[in-house]
Amino acid sequence: MALKSTVFKFQLQIADLDRHYYADHALTLARHPSETDVRLVSRVLAFARQADERLSMTSALCDPDEPDLCLASLDGRIERWVDVGQPDARRIIKAAGRADQVTIHPYAGASSLLWWQGVQRELARLRKLEVIAFPEPELKTLSASLVRTTAWQITVQDGILAVSGDHGCVSVEPDTWRSNT
pLDDT reported for residue 56: 92
Residue stretches of the chain with pLDDT short of 50: none
Q: Quick count: other Cβ atoms within 10 Å of Cβ 114?
A: 12
Q: What is the third-level CATH fold of 6-178?
A: Restriction endonuclease-like alpha-beta roll fold (3.10.640)
pLDDT reported for residue 61: 52
pLDDT reported for residue 66: 87
pLDDT reported for residue 109: 86
Q: Which of 64, 69, 33 is nearest to 52 (CA)?
A: 69
Domain layout of the chain by residue ranges: 6-178
Residue type, position 60, single letter: A
pLDDT reported for residue 58: 81
Q: How far apart are CA 121 and CA 174, in angstroms?
A: 22
pTM for the whole structure: 0.93
131, 104 contact by CB (below 8 A): yes
**Maximum CA pair distance of the chain?**
48
Q: What is the pLDDT of residues 91-117, one digit of tens each?
A: 999 999 999 999 999 998 899 999 999
36, 140 contact by CB (below 8 A): no
